[in-house]
Structure 1
Amino acid sequence: MATKKREAFSRRTVEFRSGDSSCTAWLYLPTQKDDQPLPTVVMGHGLGATREMGLAPYAERFVAAGLAVLVFTYRHLGDSGGEPRQLLSMARQLADWDAALAYAESLPEVDRQRMAVWGSSLGGGHAIRVAARHPELRAAVAQCPFTDGLASAAALGIKETLVLSRFVARDLVAAARGKEPVTIPVAASAGQLGLMTAPDALPGMLALLPADHKWVNQAAARSVTSLIRYRPGRSAKAVAAPILICISATDSVAPPARTERYVRQAPRGDVRLYDAGHFDFYLGEAFEQLAADQTEFLVSHLTAAPKASITPTAKA
């Protein structure tokens, strides 16, 4: 039997066009008695993951508070389109965010003047960058955000990064020849090959998997070059909207000191540190605290009377 909480909203699977393919998403809508358009949150996931991995509990909290929520999976991953598979391209993922916002704005249920973005891990870095590119947004949330590819590579280790570079070279040759990508694990045990090899990385990712979801723990090796060059934290100073940045004080993936230096530059930033690891943010007491803080923040900024419309401007 469905709980009362679940009866308070609906969720349906939707699809929207992005670039040369499409993204698959969940659209959450609260049960309401009228047809008034709703304040809306667009949500994106982390490195090499899919929307099934830890995002639904947050979305359910937001929709229970009266917000519409669109949770999408980037192209090349999960049940979204895009070839080759398992490619992590920062440019393409940012284009997916733009497409997700445009799709949400086209829906009759959505109030396009009251929209926010929410991202976690790599998605948290994207949320910062997207908020800087879209001044029309009313709010943003960046959770344990990836803010600097060079800093994350240093945290991985010079030796490990050099080993990855050999696979990158092989994959670039494969791409030039039109062959299938040479892949590397997204998360691996310490001392093994992978994009994330901190002790909590692989068990942390596996803990997010629903029983019926099959996750492909692989990324095209060429993705490393895109990740290392990506420094979305630099965009924090250009975010006009209120932005809540939730930092793991012990983050093993996104170095917290570098992240904090970046996000303290956000003009309307609300920076909060939590004594929980990067992958603890999705579970247990840490999740409960984060979900409560983020719901309060989003509701406070999205349910106020809308301001004068701002013409959307997407910046490179």
Structure 2
Amino acid sequence: MPRTDISFKTSDGVTLRGWFFTPSESAMSEGAKLPCVILTHGLSCIKEMGLDDVASKFVTELPLTCLVYDHRGFGTSDTAAHAPRQEINTWLQANDMRDAITYAQTREEVDRSKIALWGYSLAAAEAVYVAAIDRRVKAVIALGPGMDGAEICRRLAPPHVLNGPMQAMFEMDRMARAAGNPPITVPVVNTEPGGQSVLPSPESVQFFSPWMSNASTWKNELTLRSLDDISTFSLPMGHLKTLCPTPVFFGVATRDTNSPPDMVMAQYHQISEPKEFVMVDADHYQLMGSARELLHLRETAFLKSVLCS
């Protein structure tokens, strides 16, 4: 299973870096053009957090290629000259996804008419949005999609916090930036009891803790403006009914507190056919862990029927 380092430019000139996966040489006929699945990770995550395993299994078992990359400002990817690292801008991430499609279409191994998106968590929601507005996407797999940031925040924090201290902090950060000061940052997770963080759940700490080392390019840090962005994120919500006729697959976790299953399924029911879902007994992060065996089987069958036929 060959894997090569790649890079490509976004429409605003930012270099994104990642990997391109192809089947073994023995599995590829000369001059063959194969479908491509573009894989993107969730909030603050880097490609090393399991995307290589997912892509490797896909190209081993299916006649397709995979493109994996880090979001701008994270991992090995660059950010714009005027923008800080560790900052999530959901609109730009979605637009970068469209640039990734263009890059994949330029590769000689790829059948440009057969591009699919695979996303986890926040990137799953962005993939749904991109699939709805960009007809180059022929299928989308969304695992634990957090498609309504305001609703998720309402479930995680009481109104007096959302409408009081949080808004005051967002205002303070904007004023500080306007004055030329560095952006305010917050930890993704906090290993100290009672500490403030973007993702305070025990399962979040468990998932990210192994990556808190100097050997990893993952950083336990986000700009406060990232939280401002994702707390109002709703790009996919106005486009759920326009996904049709693009086939959609949802992976839903029964114990997910980041993307609660009742919320995800209510959104799923707004999508027209063709669509399918699988619900697994897992928390949000086990969608990238212990639930992968079942999810892989269902995802492979989905891709085989809608992309590789």
Q: TM-score, normalised by structure 2?
A: 0.90
Q: Residues 147 and 215 of structure 1: is their aligned pair in 2 closer, same or farther, counting only changes over 3 Å?
A: same
Q: Kindly tell me the number of residue pairs found equivalent between the two proteins.
A: 295
Query: Which of 13, 25, 41 is the aligned partner of 2:5?
Result: 13
Q: Pairwise mapping of residues 196-211 of structure 1 onto structure 2 (< 5 A)?
A: 196-207=199-210
Q: Which moved more, 1:20-29 or 1:39-48?
A: 20-29
Q: Pairwise mapping of residues 108-187 of structure 1 onto structure 2 (< 5 A)?
A: 108-158=108-158, 161=162, 162-187=164-189
Question: What is aligned with 1:279?
Answer: 285
The answer (yes or no) to whether the contact 1:149–1:229 under 8 Å persists in 2 is yes
Question: What is aligned with 2:34?
Answer: 38
Where structure 1 has 5 or more consecutive residues not aligned to the other structure, the ranges are 1-8, 305-316
Letter in 1 for 2:2: S
User: 1:181: Cα distance to partner?
Assistant: 1.4
Q: Which moved more, 1:91-100 or 1:159-168?
A: 159-168
Per-residue CA deviations over 1:256-313 (Å, capped at 9, x if unaligned) read: 21111111122122122111110111123x1111111111111221112xxxxxxxxx
Question: What is aligned with 1:51?
Answer: 47
Alpha-carbon separation, structure 1, partners of 2:206 and 2:232: 27
**SS at 1:288 equivalent:** helix
Q: Which moved more, 1:171-180 or 1:78-87?
A: 171-180
Letter in 1 for 2:230: L
Q: Which moved more, 1:39-48 or 1:15-24?
A: 15-24
Alpha-carbon separation, structure 1, partners of 2:286 and 2:165: 29
**SS at 1:79 equivalent:** coil
User: 1:152: Cα distance to partner?
Assistant: 1.4
Q: TM-score, normalised by structure 1?
A: 0.88
Q: Which portions of structure 1, spanning 4 or more consecutive aligned residues, are displaced by more than 6 angstroms? A: 208-211
| RMSD of equivalent CA atoms | 1.9
The answer (yes or no) to whether the contact 2:170–2:225 under 8 Å persists in 1 is yes
Q: Which moved more, 1:51-60 or 1:190-199?
A: 190-199
Letter in 2 for 1:238: T
Per-residue CA deviations over 1:102-127 (Å, capped at 9, x if unaligned) read: 11111111101111000000011011
Alpha-carbon separation, structure 2, partners of 1:209 and 1:280: 19
Letter in 2 for 1:276: A
Where structure 2 has 5 or more consecutive residues not aligned to the other structure, the ranges are none
User: 1:205: Cα distance to partner?
Assistant: 2.4
The answer (yes or no) to whether the contact 1:171–1:183 under 8 Å persists in 2 is no
Q: Which moved more, 1:171-180 or 1:194-203?
A: 171-180
Alpha-carbon separation, structure 1, partners of 2:48 and 2:172: 31
Tell whether 2:295 aligns with 1:300: no
Question: What is aligned with 1:106?
Answer: 106
Alpha-carbon separation, structure 1, partners of 2:240 and 2:209: 31
Letter in 1 for 2:289: L
The answer (yes or no) to whether the contact 1:94–1:126 under 8 Å persists in 2 is yes
Alpha-carbon separation, structure 1, partners of 2:161 and 2:70: 28
The answer (yes or no) to whether the contact 1:233–1:259 under 8 Å persists in 2 is no
